[in-house]
Chain A
Amino acid sequence: MTHRKDGAPGYLLSTLDALVAWGRKYSLFPLTFATACCGIEVMGALGTHYDLSRFGAEVVRFSPRQADVLLVAGTVNYKMAPVLRRIYDQMLEPKWVISMGACACSGGFYNNYTVLQGIDKIMPVDVYIPGCPPNPEGIIDAVVQIQKIIETGAPRAAERWPGTR
């Protein structure tokens, strides 16, 4: 994408960016990395009652190459952490990460030899969802937050956290 010398995008391109962002916003392909209890609530969010498809994010992809939102749902331990990082590395830019539940955010009430104390130790995270496990409303809210990031063009966590990449 070409830019003017002062760094600001040209008029046409900025409009195009907005159009792309608008389209991207409603066609998020999440990869649910569901390890534990939170995974059951992800199923609940995809189910008929909460219906995540109303927000254009119901087409779950299990291949990291086809997904643009990584939804980490559940505890990640040290045996699993390299696997998760590898999946993150395989995803194509631009990508966003949602950390769902107390365990993924901070280790939760598992503070011991095996549990990674928050996935933000190994990768940048855009949106955190509190709860153990969060209700499906929490997942919907996180998707809306990601849509806001896309819409406003706010920098992604991966851009803001250069040290972690």
Chain B
Amino acid sequence: MMEPFDSDAGGAKLDLQSEPMILNIGPSHPATHTTLRFRTVLDGETILDLEPEFGYLHRGFEKESEAATWTQVIPYTDRLNYCSAMMNNVGYAMAVEKLCGIEVPERCQYIRVIISELSRIIDHMVCVGTNMVDIGALTNFWYFWKCREEVYKVLEELCGQRLTTTYTRIGGVMADVPEGWTDRVLAVCRGVIPEGIADVDRLLTRNRIFIERTMGVGGITPKEAIALGFTGPCLRATGVPLDLRKDHPYMVYDRFDFDVPVGEAGDTCDRYMVRMEEMRQSLRIIEQAVAGMPGGPVNVDDPRFILPPKEAVYENIEALMNHFKIIMEGIRVPAGEVYSATEAANGELGYYIVSKGGGGPWKIKVRPPCFPLFQGMPRLVKGHMIADLIAVLGSVNIIAGELDR
């Protein structure tokens, strides 16, 4: 419960000669993306204090994963950040592979890079698009959604689902990419996505109304952002170039040439700019990854982790037993604990996994990038107007699925 508001706190002097008003926003409110909630203390329209509240989409990810096998956890990871499910799959698979001490083949790593960057693009598109809807610019949303549908098409071709992909496996991916898939990825990355980005860029970046709404709104200094645990575009917008793809290159990111965009003021406008530029950089990475993608197998050659081919299961008893054991008991993962972090669309996505041996995890803790961002909301909006709260909330991109888990 909220403590009674002390009107003398911090020497704040009320503009209006009245009591501060307490306003509840959410959890069912169009601009809070439905499951977030704020209790605000207002002086007129100025925010004196803000208390975020969440848990309205708590789905027991950790409890479910403790009752599942290692492979069964993958579908649950889709639903953490459902705007970029592929990246969650990749992060989880990498964490378990670290625990098993296996390295996936190069072709698999290139595929994982491509799907991660595609996910990053569509995640930023949802963020920027819905942020603009919240502050009254609907058109951008349609432009970006057209790109998203095209990306959905290539992802659907890969794994059969648009949104909840479940594409990676421990030690590889579900299946190799279909014939001609990379050409279609390139077609999307050279056609509809740059067009969409250019359209939105023309509509917004030099738009007076947009700049007035976002510049200087919700700013934060690098020092405070670090103390609050910000990562990803929200930290880079303050000027700190922390990007795990550069600083701790995982998979094959060290082979690609790309830049890490940073902002200056850490405000809503900078966050938008960083996201727009990151999409262009992701396109660069995809171009290089497609060009450099080697042939060969996509899965590790290890029957302990990878299911035998279906024909073998039907024809010989050893393959059948192996298949049965992996499905019924789960793959064997050694006891131990690992923390594996990847650069997701919103920041550092970490998986802390405790294994006591056996077919399933003892504990999986997800470090969602949204969690510290949402905690930092009061710092971002105190002293601003209530309408700015909406603009700031959209720009930090809180995804309830990974916030509440």
Given contacts A35-B400, A47-B149, contact A41 B57 (CB under 8 A): no
Do the beta carbons of B57 and A62 come within 8 Å of each other? no
Chain A contacts with B in 15-52, Cβ cutoff 8 A: 33-37, 39-41, 43-44, 47-49
Q: Which residues of B contact A11 (CB under 8 A)?
A: none
Neighbouring A residues of B27 by C-beta, 8 Å: 80, 83
Q: Is the CB of A36 within 8 A of B82?
A: yes
* Cα distance A64–B64 in the bound complex, in angstroms: 33
Among the 9-residue stretches A109-117, A141-149, A153-161, the one with 4 or more Cβ atoms under 8 Å from chain B is A109-117
Distance in Å from the Cβ of B139 to the closest Cβ of chain A? Answer: 11
Residue on B with the closest CB to A103?
B59
Cα–Cα distance between A77 and B78 once the two chains are bound (Å): 18
Determine whether B126 belongs to the interface, using a CB cutoff of 8 Å to chain A.
Answer: yes
Q: Which A residues between 68 and 114 are near B, CB-CB below 8 angstroms?
A: 74-75, 77, 79-80, 83-84, 87, 103, 109-114
CB atoms of A40 and B126 under 8 A apart: yes
Contact between chains at B60 and A34 (CB < 8 Å): no
Report if A83-B56 is in contact (Cβ < 8 Å); known contacts: A40-B83, A47-B149, A135-B162.
yes
Chain A residues, Cβ within 8 Å of B145: 43-44, 47-49
Number of residues in B with C-beta < 8 Å to the partner?
Answer: 35
Segment touching A, from B28-36, B175-183, B330-338, B378-386: B28-36
Complex Cα–Cα for A111 and B30 (A):
28
Residue B79 CB within 8 A of the other chain: yes
B142 within 8 A of A: yes
- What is the predominant secondary structure among interface residues of chain A facing chain B? loop
Task: List the count of A-B residue pairs having beta carbons below 8 Å apart.
Answer: 94
**A59 located at the interface, meaning its Cβ lies under 8 Å from any Cβ of chain B in the complex:** no
Query: How many residues of chain A have a CB within 8 Å of chain B?
Result: 33
Which A residue sits closest to B64, measured CB to CB? Answer: A112
Q: Check A77–B57 contact: CB distance below 8 A.
A: yes
Q: Give A49 to B151 CA distance when docked, in angstroms.
A: 13
- Identify the interface centre among A75, A83, A132: most chain B CB within 10 Å of its CB: A75
A133 at the interface (CB under 8 A from B): yes
Query: Does B368 belong to the interface (CB within 8 Å)?
Result: no
* Chain B: CB-nearest residue to A43: B145
Q: Which chain A positions have C-beta within 8 A of B57?
A: 35-36, 74-75, 77, 80
Q: Which of B125-147 contact A (CB under 8 A)?
A: 126, 130, 141-142, 145-146
- Cβ-defined contact, A34 with B163, below 8 A: no
Partner of A114, one of B59, B76, B149: B59
Can you list 5 A-B pairs with a CB-CB distance of less than 8 A? A35-B35, A74-B57, A77-B57, A84-B28, A109-B76
List of 4 A-B pairs having minimum Cβ-Cβ separation, nearest first: A37-B82, A112-B60, A47-B145, A62-B30
Q: Which residues of B contact A (CB under 8 A)?
A: 27-30, 33-35, 55-60, 63-64, 75-76, 78-79, 82-83, 126, 130, 141-142, 145-146, 148-149, 152, 162-164, 400-401
